[in-house]
Amino acid sequence: MRIATTIFLTDETIRPDRLARELEQRGFAGLYLPEHTHIPASRDTPAPMGEPLPREYGRTLDPFVALAQAAAVTGRLGLGTGITLVAQHDPVALAKQIATLDFLSGGRFTLGVGFGWNVEEAADHGVQWSTRRELTRDRMALMRALWAAEPTAYKGEFGSVRASFAYPKPANGAPRTLVGGAAGPRLFGQITGYADGWLPIGGRGLGESLPELRRVWADAGRAGDPVVVPYAVKPSAGKLAYYRDLGLTEVVLQLPPADEATVLRTLDDFAQYL
């Protein structure tokens, strides 16, 4: 099983280049970074992880800039977002960022897609909360048009793009795309519609939900099985063995949003699972 990691990198934590080197040297498979552009100081939206909201949420580095630094000092380490709030981006600009990072890293990028929890953050980006999922699907289709081998136009409910020359292209036509969120018909419909699989946070309940996702995947005419990567997992030997028994091949372990010494000690502990 590939053992990757995720961390809230901030202006107060270990730097991405330092972490990336250590991960690759120790044999870890990847680094996934979360995204929040900002956290409004006044919120009516309760934080799903509990209040008060942890300090790191309002201090996160831009994931694409941080991952570019990580890519520049590594040659094998997988790079991913966990997740990108696609609805909060201009899709033409985001398509360029993604394609550039994937191209420069030699196809090492995984696009984690999410819908967010912070209503106020999304509103500052002009996102209407009730339609954010449909907006995300629309923007994914627009970006795929820009990644197509030939100039391809797209006209959707929320946006459009003319047939365009848009280079570089992602190394393999489009990056691996995983959708995060809670199990259910709405999420599984998003996954089968435009993604390669699922990024379930915490990895709980997979024994019940995984067969249903595989059934929906097959009913949608998708070949093979969806990729499933448990994300932000607090590891144990038993938990990882359970994931292997389910046929999963990658897991993302949660690192603390801490200084270099603390993070490296945690990597030493996690090395037992490699």
Reply yes or no on whether the pLDDT at 61 is more than 90: yes
Reply yes or no on whether the pLDDT at 225 is more than 90: yes
End-to-end CA distance of the chain: 8
Q: What is the predicted pLDDT for the residue at 204?
A: 85
Tell me the CA distances in angstroms from 162 to 31, 115, 156, 185, one per residue in order: 34, 26, 12, 33
Q: What is the predicted pLDDT for the residue at 28?
A: 98
Provide the mean pLDDT of the chain: 97
**pLDDT tens-digit readout, 149-194:** 999 999 999 999 999 999 999 999 999 999 999 999 999 999 999 9
Q: Match 């897991």 to its residue by tokens.
A: 251
How many C-beta atoms lie closer than 10 Å to residue 10's C-beta?
17
Rounded to 5°, angle at Cα 31 from 122 and 184: 50
Q: What is the predicted pLDDT for the residue at 53?
A: 95
Q: Sign of dihedral through CA atoms 216, 202, 94, 165?
A: negative
For residues 79 and 102, give the distance between their C-alpha atoms in angstroms, rounded to a whole number: 9
SS (H, E, C) 192-221: HHHCCEEECECCCCHHHHHHHHHHHHHHCC
Pairing of strands 109-114, 78-81: parallel
What's the mean pLDDT in 43-61? 95
Q: What is the CA radius of gyration of the chain?
A: 18
Q: Match 């990597």 to its residue by tokens.
A: 267
Q: What is the predicted pLDDT for the residue at 177?
A: 98
With a pLDDT cut of 70, the percent of the chain lying above it is: 100
Tell me the CA distances in angstroms from 22 to 86, 229, 233, 267, one per residue in order: 29, 22, 20, 9
For residues 196 and 173, give the distance between their C-alpha atoms in angstroms, rounded to a whole number: 13
Find, among 82, 179, 200, 96, the residue nearest to 142 by Cα: 96
For residues 133 and 137, give the distance between their C-alpha atoms in angstroms, rounded to a whole number: 6
Q: What is the predicted pLDDT for the residue at 203?
A: 83
What's the mean pLDDT in 111-131? 98
Reply yes or no on whether the pLDDT at 6 is more than 90: yes
For residues 176 and 256, give the distance between their C-alpha atoms in angstroms, rounded to a whole number: 26
Q: Which two tokens stand for residue 175?
A: 């990056």
What's the mean pLDDT in 84-99? 98
Helix (H, G, I), strand (E, B) or coil at 245: helix
With a pLDDT cut of 90, the percent of the chain lying above it is: 97
Q: Which two tokens stand for residue 33?
A: 């970074």
Residues 6+ positions from 93 with CB-CB distance below 8 Å = none
Crossing angle of helices 132-147/185-194, nearest 10°? Answer: 10
Q: What is the predicted pLDDT for the residue at 170?
A: 97
Helix, strand, coil percent values for the chain (each to nearest 5): 40, 15, 40
